Amino acid sequence: MLRPFEIHEPGTVEEASVLLARFGIDAAIYAGGTELLLIMKEGLAHFPHLVNIKTIPGLDEIALSAEGDELQIGPLATHWDLERSPTVRKHAPLLAEVESQVANTRVRAVGTIGGNLCFAEPHSDLATLLLAWGATLELSSSEAQRVLPAADFTLGLFETARQPNEILTRIRLPLLSENTAGAYRKFSTHERPMATVAALLEVKDGIIEDVRLAVGSVGPLPIRASEAEALLRGQSIEGATFASAAELAASASDPMDDLHGSADYKRQLVRVLTAQALMEASGRAAGETNEG
Amino acid sequence: MSEGIGHNVPRVDARSKVTGEAIFTGDLKLSGLLHGKVLRSPYPHALIRRINTDRAASLPGVVSVLTSTDLEDIDPYYGHSIKDRPLLAIDRVRFVGEPLAAVAAEDEVTAEQALSLIEVEYEDLPAATTLEEALSDDAPRLHETDTLRPGLFHGLGELNPDGNICYQHSIHRGDLAEAFKQAEIIVEQEYTFPAVYQYAMEPHTVIAAWEGKSVTVWASCQHPYLVRAELAELFDLPVASVRIIVPFLGGGFGSKSYTKMEPITVALARKARRPVRIANRVDEAMVTTRRHNMRCWMRTGALADGTLIARHVRLWMDTGAYADNGPRVVATAADAAPGPYRWKSFQVEAYCVYTNRPPSGSYRAFGATHLQWIGESQVDEIARQAGVDPVDIRIQNLLRPGEEVRPGGKALDADLVGDVQKIADALDWGSPKPPDTGRGLGVGLLAAGARPVSTAIVRMEIDGHATVLVSSTEMGQGVRTVMSQLASQELALPIEHIRVPGGDTWITPYDRSTGASRSTTLAGMAVHRAAREVRQQLLEIASQAFEVALEAIELRDGAAWRGDQSLSYSELIQFHFGFTGGELIGRGEVSPGGNKGSYAEGPVFWEVCVGGAEVRLDRDTGRLHITKLVSVADVGQAVNPDLVKAQEMGASMQGLGNALFEEMIFDEGQILNGTLLDYHIPTTEDMPDQFISRLVENEDGPGPYGIKGAGEGALAGVPAAIVNALADIGVQVTELPLTPERVWQALREAEAEHDDGGSPS
Ligand SMILES: Cc1cc2nc3c(=O)[nH]c(=O)nc-3n(C[C@H](O)[C@H](O)[C@H](O)COP(=O)(O)OP(=O)(O)OC[C@H]3O[C@@H](n4cnc5c(N)ncnc54)[C@H](O)[C@@H]3O)c2cc1C
C-alpha cells in the first residue's frame, strides 16, 4: 500500500538537484512512476519525498542535433512518444520499432525512457538497444554536467553510475551511417522480456566492416558479445557465419537461473535471437545496398 | 416475445458497469467505517510463542487489535467441509500467509503501520511444503486427523482421514485385474498439475457491522447462504440474525465460493463495535485460496483395435493447510478420472492431502480440468498405438445418452459423439496441416449442479413491474440478465419492467450457491416456477375481470388480452385488490424430491467438457502458438446465446492459461511469483488467432425448457485439446503448464531418444 509522501515540483533541473541533495536517501525522482510506484506499493522502498521532474519544461523534447548527426532525446519522452515521433521514425526507425514493443499499452503511455534507463531493471529493451547503438547519456546536477557512454551507465541490477543528486537530462543517439542496418529481437513469457538481442551491421561492398551486438535481459545487465563481433568483422555478408556468432554470443551471455527460466534455456534463446537478429540486419543491409 | 429465452438480450447490468455506477463491496461508504488489515505468517509451519499487541494498540488511530485470545467465548473453528480452520491462527501457523492477528483503524495506512508494531515470537517447526513431504512416513502432521470434525456442508460421506490425508474417496466398477489381463495395449504414466490462482479482478472484500445480537455483512461472496450458516454457527447466532448482502462481484471463478475473509472481518467488527472493512490485495487473495496442485498416476488398457476396457487412477491433491473445498474437488476429480467411455472396469483412488501451503479450494471446472488432459492424452496414445484416428477412437468408445457414467450416479444426459464431431468439423479434422502444426481434442464430463436446493420469489407490483428475488450472485456471468429473461418469458413482460437486485439474505430467499454451473438450471427453475405462479394469478384475475374462461385469455406485452380487449397488469392488480395498491407474489422452489440429492446420487447433470485446438510449435524456442481454439457449448437450450458464447470464451482463455503458463511457484511454502508482474494471467495478447464456439441445444437438461448449465466445461476441454495437439506434433508432456522452456526440454529429450534409437548400438 502506498504510504503518504510529499511531492515536490521543481521548475528547473538545478532546483530538482538541490532537492535531491537536501533529502538524500529519503527522496526519489518521479517521472512516469510506473516502476517507482510499484515498488512503493509493494513496500519494497519508501520515499517520503518525491521530486516530480515533469514540471521541468523541455525535458520531453525529441530533436535532431544542430549538426544533424545525432538524435537528442529528453528523458521524459515516453515510450509512446518515441514510437510515434516522426523524427524518430525518420532518423532512427529501429528505436521506434523497439519502442512499439516495450511493455504494455498502459506502461508505454506513461513510462519514460529516462525512467527505464535509470531504474536499471535487468529486463530492459532499451538498455540492450542503446548499448549496441553506442548512445551517450547526459547527467546534470546543480554542480556539474557530465556525459557517459551507455556502456558505463548501467553497472548492475538496479544500479547505475548516476549520483544521488544527478538527473538524466538527455540521451544522445548518433544517427547510423547509411550502410549500417540494425535489427532487434526479444522473447518474453512474462511482462518483461526474458532475452533481448540488438544487432547493428555496417556493410560496405558486401563486407561486414563493423558489428555491434548486445545481449540483454538474461543476466544482471546487458553485455556486448565481443567475440561474436570479432568473428564477423571482415566476413563477406553472403558467407557470414551467423550461426557460429550466435553460438559465441550464447556462451558469452552468462545467463542466470530465475523465475523466467533456466540459464540453459536462456542461452538457447540468445542463440536463436542472435541468429535471427543478424539475419534480419543483413537482409536489411542488403536491401539498403540494393536501393543505394 | 423477443426478450424471453433464446434471445441475445443485452446485459441488464452492462450500462451501470461501464459507466461506473455499479456498486461493488469496496465502493460502499458507511459512517464510522474502520479499515482492517491482517497480519500474516511469514513461516510455513511454526509455533506462536507470544504475540504482543501493546505497541500496535497504542498507535493513534488504531481502534482494535484482534488475536485468537479475543475468540475464547466462541468455538472459533470453521470450514464447510472439514471444521479444521481457526478464524485466526491459534498457537501455531500452518502456511505462509496465514492470518494470526488483525487491526482495525481509522484509515488503511494506520492499520498497515500498526501491523508492523505487532511483535510475534515464532518457533520454527518442520514443514511439509510439498505433496511428497506431506505423504512421507515421517512427515510432520498438520492436524490431528483422528479428531477432525465434519463441516456443515461436507456431504461426502465418510472422510476416512489418515495422517496428512484429510479425505479419501474411491470409485470402481468391474474386475480391474481381469480387464487389464485382456488388454493388448497398456499406457501408464505419472503426471503433475500445477497450483493455479483463480484471479478475480476484484480481490475478496468484506464489510461487517456488528449490531448487538446481530450482524450485517456486505461481502464479495458467491454463496451468501452458506456463508451465513457458517457465520451463525461461529458466532452462535440464529441464522436470521446474520444478514449477508452481496453487491456485484468483480469475478469469482470459485475463489469466492464458501467462507473466506468474512469470519475475521466479523470478529474484528465485533471487537471494535464499529463497522470494519477488509479488502484483500492480490497477493493476499493468492494465499486465501487457489487451485489444487496434483500428482496423478494413470494406467489405461485397450484391445488392439482401440476398444477401451480398463483404467486405474491414483491421484493426490494438495489442499494446503486447511481443507477448504478440497474434499469436494477430490471427489469431483475422481468422477472425472475415468472419462466418459464404456469401460469394462475402472478404479479411482483419490486423496486430499494437507500440506504447509496456502489452502486450495474451488476454481471453475475443478477436478475435470485436473484430470481430463491426462485421461485424454492416454486415449490419444492408445489411438496412435492402435493406428486409429483420435476422432474415431472416441466415437467407438464414448458413452451414449442413458448409459451409466459411474455406479449409483446419474446416467449420461448428453450427446457426446455429436459434440466431438462438431469439434472435429470446426478443426477441419483430417485436412492437411502446415508444418509443425498439430490438432487435438478432448472430451470429458464434469459433475455439475451441486445440491439441487434453490428458491425464488417474484413480486409483481401495482404498476405491473416485476422484481425477481433470487440469491444467485451476479459475478460477471450474466445471471441477472438470464433471470430477467426467464421471468420475462413466463410473465410476458418486457425486460425493462423486470428488476433483479443482488442477493440479500434478509430479502432474497434461499439458494444453495452460485457455482457448479447451477444457477440458470436450478435457481432459474425456481424463478421460472415463481413467475409461473404470478402468471397463473394474472390469468385468474383476468378471467374474473373479463368474465371468461382462463383459456380465452392471452398474456402479451404486460397485459391480458381477450380478443382485442386488454387490461394491463397494473389494472388487473388494482381490480383484484379494489385499491390503488397491492401486489402479486409467486414462489418457486427446487428440491431433490424423491431422492436425497446426495453427492453419490448426483450430479444434477453432467456438464460436457469438450475442446479442440490447433497449435503451431516453434522448435527453436518451444513456444506454442494457438492458431485455433474450439469449444462446444452443450447447454440443452441457450437462454442467451451471446452470454453462453462469452462464457465459453472466458473458460477457454482460462483453460489456455492453465495449459500454457499459469503456475504458482513455491519454495519452502513461500510463493515466489506472488504478484501479477510475475504470475502471468491470460491477456488479449494470448488470444488464439481464431476462436470458434458451437452451440448445441438438444433440450436434454433438467432445467426449464431442457436447460442445463454451461460455463465451466471449456476450461477442462481446452488443456486436454492443447496437450493432444502438441502430442500430434510428436511432443509428449506429463506436466503442466506447457511453458516454452518445458516444451523445449521435451523436444530435446525426444530428439535425444530419437538419436539413440537411430544409433547402431
Ligand atoms: C508491467 C511492466 C512491463 C514492462 N515491460 C517492459 C519491457 O517489456 N521492456 C522494457 O524495456 N521495459 C519494460 N518495463 C519498464 C518500463 O519501460 C519502465 O517502467 C518505464 O519506462 C519507467 O519509466 P517511468 O517514467 O515510469 O519511471 P519512474 O517509475 O518514474 O522512475 C523509475 C526510476 O528511475 C528514476 N528516474 C526516472 N527518471 C529519471 C531521470 N530523468 N533521471 C534520474 N532518475 C530518474 C526514478 O527515481 C526511479 O528510481 C515494464 C514495466 C512494467 C511496470
Q: Is A103 in the pocket of ligand 1 (CB under 6 A)?
A: yes
* B441 & B301 share domain: yes
* B583 & B711 share domain: no
Asked if pLDDT for residue B761 goes beyond 50, the answer is no
| Residue B183 domain flag | no
Closest residue on chain B to A272 (Cα): B620
Q: Is B170 strand, coil or helix? A: strand
Asked if pLDDT for residue A162 goes beyond 50, the answer is yes
Which of A190, A270, A274 should one mutate to test binding to chain B, selecting the residue with the greatest count of B CBs within 10 A? Answer: A190
Average pLDDT, chain B: 96
Angstrom distance (rounded) from CA B555 to CA B493? 9
**Residues of chain B found within 8 Å of residue A274, distances taken between Cβ atoms:** none
pLDDT band at A288 (very low <50, low <70, confident <90, very high): low
* B464 & B412 share domain: no
Among B590, B621, B640, the domain-final residue is: B590
Rounded percentage of chain B residues whose pLDDT exceeds 90: 93
Angstrom distance (rounded) from CA B531 to CA A278? 70
Quick: pLDDT tens for B509-519: 999 999 999 99
pLDDT band at A292 (very low <50, low <70, confident <90, very high): very low
Angstrom distance (rounded) from CA B9 to CA B642? 8
Angstrom distance (rounded) from CA B630 to CA B619? 24
Question: CA of B172: how far to CAs of B349, B377, B406, in Å?
Answer: 9, 21, 8
- For chain A, what's the residue count? 292
CATH 3.40.309.10 at A180-284, yes or no: no
* B534 & B630 share domain: no
Res B596: pLDDT: 57
Asked if pLDDT for residue B760 goes beyond 50, the answer is no
* B359 & B395 share domain: yes
B419 contacts B691 by C-beta, under 8 angstroms: no
| Residue B59 domain flag | yes
Q: Is A96 in the pocket of ligand 1 (CB under 6 A)?
A: no
Mark yes or no for CB contact B744/A268 under 8 Å.
Answer: yes
pLDDT band at B757 (very low <50, low <70, confident <90, very high): low
Quick: pLDDT tens for B71-87: 999 999 999 999 999 99
pLDDT band at B598 (very low <50, low <70, confident <90, very high): low
* B405 & B523 share domain: no
Q: Scan for cell 485455433, then name that residue.
A: B628
Range of the structural domain that residue B391 is part of? 293-449+603-755
pLDDT band at B759 (very low <50, low <70, confident <90, very high): very low
* B90 & B232 share domain: yes
Res A290: pLDDT: 39
Q: Determine which of B67-81, B156-170, B277-291, B413-427 has the lowest per-residue pLDDT on average.
A: B156-170
| Residue B23 domain flag | no
Mark yes or no for CB contact A259/B678 under 8 Å.
Answer: yes
* B282 & B305 share domain: no
* B487 & B634 share domain: no
Mark yes or no for CB contact A4/B109 under 8 Å.
Answer: yes
Asked if pLDDT for residue B307 goes beyond 70, the answer is yes
Total tally of structural domains belonging to chain B: 3
Asked if pLDDT for residue B470 goes beyond 50, the answer is yes
pLDDT band at B662 (very low <50, low <70, confident <90, very high): very high
pLDDT band at B599 (very low <50, low <70, confident <90, very high): low
Within B205-344, strands assigned E span 205-211, 214-219, 242-246, 276-279, 293-302, 308-320
| Residue B470 domain flag | yes
- Find the B211 Cα to ligand 1 centroid distance in Å: 49
Res B597: pLDDT: 55
Asked if pLDDT for residue B141 goes beyond 80, the answer is yes
- List the domain boundaries for chain A: 6-55, 62-174, 180-284
**Residues of chain B found within 8 Å of residue A104, distances taken between Cβ atoms:** 683
Asked if pLDDT for residue B677 goes beyond 90, the answer is no
Asked if pLDDT for residue B482 goes beyond 90, the answer is yes
Among B590, B618, B651, the domain-final residue is: B590
Instruction: For residue B448, give the nearest of B403, B405, B391, B395 by alpha carbon.
Output: B405
| Residue B598 domain flag | no
B109 and chain A in contact, CB less than 8 A = yes
Asked if pLDDT for residue B312 goes beyond 90, the answer is yes
Which CATH architecture does the domain made up of A6-55 adopt? Answer: 2-Layer Sandwich (3.30)
Quick: pLDDT tens for B326-382: 999 999 999 999 999 999 999 999 999 999 999 999 999 999 999 999 999 999 999
And the C-alpha cell for A13?
533541473
Res A291: pLDDT: 36
Mean pLDDT of A276-281: 98
Within A141-243, strands assigned E span 145-149, 154-156, 159-160, 167-174, 180-188, 193-204, 207-216, 223-224
Res B156: pLDDT: 78
* B340 & B229 share domain: no
Q: Is A223 in the pocket of ligand 1 (CB under 6 A)?
A: no
Cross-strand pairs, B460? B466, B584
B116 and chain A in contact, CB less than 8 A = no
CATH topology of domain A62-174: 3.30.465
Mean pLDDT of A73-93: 98
**Residues of chain A found within 8 Å of residue B739, distances taken between Cβ atoms:** 189, 261
Rounded percentage of chain B residues whose pLDDT exceeds 70: 98
* B699 & B629 share domain: yes
Among B558, B590, B622, the domain-final residue is: B590
Angstrom distance (rounded) from CA B123 to CA B80? 30
Mark yes or no for CB contact B620/A4 under 8 Å.
Answer: no
| Residue B329 domain flag | yes
| Residue B666 domain flag | yes
Instruction: For residue A232, give the nearest of A262, A196, A274, A189 by alpha carbon.
Output: A274
Q: Ligand 1, from A25, A36, A130: best to mutate by most atoms within 8 Å of Cβ?
A: A36
| Residue B479 domain flag | yes
Asked if pLDDT for residue B217 goes beyond 80, the answer is yes
The atom number, within ligand 1, closest to the CA of A117 reads: 34
Mean pLDDT of B752-756: 78
Res B2: pLDDT: 62
- Find the B37 Cα to ligand 1 centroid distance in Å: 30
Distance to chain B for A13, nearest Cα, Å: 32
Q: How many CA atoms lie within 13 A of B151 on its CB side?
A: 31
pLDDT band at A289 (very low <50, low <70, confident <90, very high): very low
**Residues of chain A found within 8 Å of residue B112, distances taken between Cβ atoms:** 1, 3
Higher pLDDT, B49 or B450: B49
Instruction: For residue A156, give the nearest of A124, A133, A132, A122 by alpha carbon.
Output: A122
Mean pLDDT of B593-616: 82
The atom number, within ligand 1, closest to the CA of A35 reads: 29
* B521 & B384 share domain: no
Asked if pLDDT for residue B600 goes beyond 80, the answer is no
pLDDT band at B145 (very low <50, low <70, confident <90, very high): confident
**DSSP H/E element including A131:** helix A125-133
